[in-house]
Structure 1
Amino acid sequence: MSAVRPLKPRAVTAPSFAHLRRLSDDTGLFEHARGALPRREHGYCLDDVARGLLVICREPEPDAALVALAETYLAFVAHAQSPEGAFHNRLGYDRLWHDEPGVGDWWGRALWGLGTAAARGPTSWIRESALTMFESGAALRSPWVRSTAFAALGAAEILAVMPGHDIAAKLLADAADLDKAPSGNLSWPWPEERLDYANAVLAEVQIAAGHLLHDEQRLDHGLALLGWLLTQETVDGHLSLTPVGGNGHSDPQPGFDQQPIEAAAMADACARAYAVTGDERWAAGVSLAVGWFLGENDSGFALTDEHTGGGCDGLERNGRNENQGAESTLALIAALQHRRRFAKQLASASRRPLKTRD
C-alpha cells in the first residue's frame, strides 16, 4: 500500500490495453501482479480471462492484436468448460487445472464473457463458438445469487441481438426471480441484509430483465434499487464504495479496503440504466464511477497508473495498493469504455448535483 500524496484526477479519455497485454501470454491472463510485473507463480483464473474477453468484445474497433488476444481468451474459456457445461477456474503455470468444474462466480463470469462475445465478438467464428459454449453452460444453474447474476448479464447481451433466444431468456428470468428483499425492514430495500461485493450487478439484472423481457414493474424495481445504492454510496459528491467485508446498516463510514470491481459494477449498471431510460442521473452515476478511479474518492488517490495502463488493486485510508492485477485493470478498462461511449452525456450530467447519503 502506498503512502504517497494523493494524485489529482487526470484527463483519461480512452482505456489502455497495454497492461492487459503485459499480463497475458499465449495461454491466458495472469491473475496477480507485484506492482506491474505479472506473478506467474499464481497462474491464471477463468474469472479474469472471461472478463478480458468481455472488455475486448466491447471495443467498437479492436485492432488485430486485440482480436488475437480475444481468440486466446476464448480458447482458454473453451478449455475450462467441462462436457456438462460447468467450468474449471484455476489453471496453474504448469498448465494443470487445480480445481474441479463448478458453477461458482467463474461460471457466471464465463457466461457473461461468452454472451458478450456471442453478441459483439469481432469475427463471425468467435461469435458462433461463443454462442455454442454459452448455450451449454446456460443449461446449468448456480445456487449463488451473484454467480447467476453474472451469467444473466451474458444472457442479456444475447437477447439484445437475438430476442427469441429461449435459453438466454430463461436464464435472465430465473436470475431476476432470485431477488428477495429482506423481510421486516422497510428502510433497507436491498435484497440482502448487508451489501456485499459487485453489488450493482443485482440491480442491473433487474433492469436488464425488465427491459428485455418487457416487464415494466421489474424495470422500475431495478431502477429503484440502483438509485438507492447510488445514493447510499455517494458522499460529498464522490463514490464511497462498500469495502471488502461488506457494509451493513450501522457500520462505520467510510470503509476500506475499497475494490475496483465495485466501481466497475456501478459503471456497468448506470450505463445500462442510462441506455434504457435516457435519464441523466445515470450518466452522472457513470461519471462518479470513473471519477473514483481517477482520485475522486474517500482518500483522494487515483487508482490508475498512467505509465503502465494498469489499475491499482485497492483504495486504503491513506493510500492505494500498488499491485496491478487483472481484476483491477479490467475494472478500470470497463469503466473507461463507458466514459468514452457516453462522453457528451457525462460532461453534461457531471455539472448537475446528485443526491447523496447524509
Structure 2
Amino acid sequence: MAIDDHLATRPSEEELRRLLAGKVPEPSFAHLARMSDDTGLFEHARGPIPKRWHGYCVDDVTRGLIVVCREPDPSAQLLRLAEIYLAFLLHAQDRERGFHNRMGLDRVWHDEPETGEWWGRGVWALGTAANRGPTPWIRAVALERFADGAELRAGLGPQSRLNHAMAYAALGAAEVAASHPGHPAALSVLADAAETIGRPGSDPEWPWPEPRLEYGDPALPEALIAAGQYLGDDSLLRDGLGLLDWLLTLSTRDGHLSPTPAGGWSLGDPRPAFHQQPIEAAAYADACARAYAATNDAKWLTGVRMAINWFLGDNDSKIPMFDESTGGGFDGLGQDWRNPNQGAESTIALISTLQYARWLEGIPAAG
C-alpha cells in the first residue's frame, strides 16, 4: 500500500470519539530528533523520513528552539538539540543585515541575510531562549543576540507591511520583557510592532487591519496583547483581544476550529476552506493562552482546547493530524484527506499545541 493511500484512511466515528474522549497525548520529541542532525533541523520529509537534500531553514530551527525551551524538565537529548539550534541561529545571524534563512545539505548558505519573516522568528526564538533556555549559558548568549537582532527593526517600519515579521519579533520581545522588566530593546520592539500591525478597522464585519487573512494571523493580535501587557497600554490590549475574538469566532465552525487555509481567505470565499496547516492551530493555541493570561477569562481556554482537538481529529474533515507511532505531525488537512508527510513545521506545531494540554491541566476547573 502506498504511503499516501495508507495515511488518507479515515478513522471510524467510534475511533474518533475514543481519541477525543481520551487523555491528550504527551508531546513527543522523537520525530523532532529524527529530523535533526548536528547542524540543524531538516525542513521537509517524505512520510516520517527526512528529505535531507532540501536542507535546513531558519524558520524551522527557530520553531524547534522555542518548543525545546518551553519544556519544563528537558532531557539530555533536548538540551543537546537546544544547543544545536541556537548555534545554527548564531551562524545564520548577521548583525548588520538580519538572518540567512536557507542552508543546503552542503552547509553553505543559499541566500543573503535579510529581515524577512525569518528575522522575526529568529528574534522570537532568541527572546524565548533568553527567558526559558534550559541552561544559564544558553540564556546569556540568547539575550545578547536578541539585542543584536532587535536593533535591526528600523527597516521594518509601518510602511514595510511586514506585519508578521514584527509580530513574531514582538513575541520574542515579550519573553525578554517577562524576564528582564524594562529591557529597552524589548519594549521598543513591542511598540514598533504595535505601530506596524495597526489598529482595528471601523467595519465590525471586517476589523482586520489587512484586506485578506493570511498565514499565521493569530500572531498579530497576540503581539498587540503582549504590547499592551508590557507597555501598560490598555488600548492596545483591548485592540488585540478584540481582533483575536473576531478571528477565533470567524474560524469556529460547529464547535471546532476551522482555520484559514494556506492560500488565505477573505469575505465571500467559501468556508470551510482547505488546505489547512497545523501552524494555524498552533498559532491559535499561543494567542488564546496569552489572552487568558492577560485577562483570566475562561472563554480563551476554549480556543486552546479547540486547537488541541484539531490535531486529535475534531476538524472539518474529522481526520487526526498526528502520527502516534512516530511523534510527527502531518503537513496539511484537505477535504477528506491529509498530507502524509511529516515535515518540521507541522511536527513542531503539534508539539507546541500539545504542550498547552499540560498547561491546561494546571488551571483550576473554575477558570
> Could you say which TM-score interval applies, normalised by the shorter chain?
over 0.9
Change (3 A) 1:166 1:320: same
1: CA distance between counterparts of 2:215 and 2:36? 26
Any idea what SS the aligned residue of 2:225 has?
helix
Counterpart pick for 2:165 among 147, 166, 169: 147
Is the 2:256–2:306 Cα contact (8 Å) retained in structure 1? yes
Letter in 1 for 2:82: A
User: How far off is 1:191 after superposition?
Assistant: 1.0
1:4-43 equivalent positions in 2, closer than 5 A: 4-6=9-11, 8=16, 9=19, 11-43=23-55
Q: TM-score normalised to the size of structure 1?
A: 0.94
Any idea what SS the aligned residue of 1:131 has?
helix
- The answer for the alignment partner of 2:357 in structure 1 is 339
User: How far off is 1:346 after superposition?
Assistant: 8.9
Q: Which runs of 5+ in 1 are unaligned?
A: 350-358
Any idea what SS the aligned residue of 1:191 has?
coil
- The answer for the alignment partner of 1:282 in structure 2 is 300
- The answer for the alignment partner of 1:159 in structure 2 is 177
Letter in 1 for 2:9: V
1:203-218 equivalent positions in 2, closer than 5 A: 203-218=221-236
Q: Which moved more, 1:7-16 or 1:156-165?
A: 7-16
Task: Provide Cα deviations, 1:84-115, integer angstroms capped at 9, x if missing partner.
Answer: 15100000001100000001111111110000
Task: Provide Cα deviations, 1:45-69, integer angstroms capped at 9, x if missing partner.
Answer: 0000011111111111111110111
Counterpart pick for 1:241 among 259, 272, 275: 259
1: CA distance between counterparts of 2:39 and 2:299? 41
2: CA distance between counterparts of 1:180 and 1:216? 15
Change (3 A) 1:184 1:216: closer
User: How far off is 1:82 after superposition?
Assistant: 1.3
Number of residue pairs aligned between Structure 1 and Structure 2: 349
Change (3 A) 1:340 1:171: same
2: CA distance between counterparts of 1:135 and 1:85? 14
2: CA distance between counterparts of 1:304 and 1:157? 28
User: How far off is 1:184 after superposition?
Assistant: 6.4
User: How far off is 1:345 after superposition?
Assistant: 4.0
Is the 2:331–2:341 Cα contact (8 Å) retained in structure 1? yes
Any idea what SS the aligned residue of 2:197 has?
coil
- The answer for the alignment partner of 1:120 in structure 2 is 132
1: CA distance between counterparts of 2:350 and 2:365? 19
2: CA distance between counterparts of 1:234 and 1:47? 28
Is the 1:339–1:346 Cα contact (8 Å) retained in structure 2? no
- The answer for the alignment partner of 1:3 in structure 2 is 8
Counterpart pick for 1:62 among 52, 70, 74: 74
Is the 1:118–1:131 Cα contact (8 Å) retained in structure 2? yes
- The answer for the alignment partner of 1:88 in structure 2 is 100
Is the 2:97–2:115 Cα contact (8 Å) retained in structure 1? no
Q: Which moved more, 1:85-94 or 1:71-80?
A: 85-94
1:226-305 equivalent positions in 2, closer than 5 A: 226-305=244-323
Q: Which runs of 5+ in 2 are unaligned?
A: none
User: How far off is 1:183 after superposition?
Assistant: 5.7
User: How far off is 1:244 after superposition?
Assistant: 1.0
Q: Which moved more, 1:277-286 or 1:25-34?
A: 277-286
1: CA distance between counterparts of 2:8 and 2:61? 31
Is the 1:284–1:346 Cα contact (8 Å) retained in structure 2? no
2: CA distance between counterparts of 1:17 and 1:346? 28
Letter in 1 for 2:8: A
Task: Give % identity.
Answer: 58
Alignment RMSD: 1.5
2: CA distance between counterparts of 1:122 and 1:146? 27
